[in-house]
């Protein structure tokens, strides 16, 4: 009776697979950290932008509405102060 056998040492292969899994997990952890940092940065940028829009909106509401010129401003215009384009056109027609 005769027996033939083949044996193979899998120690190195198991060590390599373990190292591969460890490195893969480390890369995934780094990807997740980078993703979270990127999302935090994006959230900060969006929040700053929205706060800026809100500030502009609030400042716009705080300004008084444009009202028609007062009697005093009309008098200034007639006495040689700043004139509107319409006033200039009327003065040319009168001359």
Instruction: Classify residue 3: in a domain, yes or no.
Output: no
Range of the domain at 33: 11-63+70-94
5 in any annotated domain: no
Q: How confident is the model at residue 92 (pLDDT cuts 50, 70, 90)?
A: very low
In this structure, of 8-12, 19-23, 33-37, the range with the lowest mean pLDDT score is: 8-12
pLDDT in tens, 68-87: 556 655 555 555 554 455 55
- On whether the pTM is more than 0.85, the answer is no
Domain count, the chain: 1
Instruction: For residue 6, tell me if it sits in a domain.
Output: no
**Mean pLDDT in residue range 32-58:** 91
DSSP string, the chain: ----------HHHHHHHHHHHHHHHHHHHHHHHHHHHHHHHHHHHHHHHHHHHHHHHHHHHHSPPP-PPPHHHHHHHHTTS---HHHHHHHHHH-
Spatial neighbors of 76 by CB under 8 A, at least 6 apart, are 82
Per the domain annotation, does 4 fall within a domain? no
**Domain presence at residue 2:** no
């Amino acid at each position: 009776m005769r027996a033939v056998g083949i044996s193979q040492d899998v120690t190195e292969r198991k060590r390599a697979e373990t190292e591969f899994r460890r490195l893969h997990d480390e890369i995934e952890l780094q990807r997740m950290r980078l993703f979270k940092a990127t999302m935090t940065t994006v959230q900060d940028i969006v929040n700053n932008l929205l706060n800026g829009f809100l500030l502009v909106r609030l400042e716009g509401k705080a300004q008084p509405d444009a009202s028609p010129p007062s009697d005093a401003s009309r008098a200034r215009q007639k006495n040689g102060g700043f004139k509107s384009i319409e006033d200039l056109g009327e003065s040319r027609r009168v001359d």
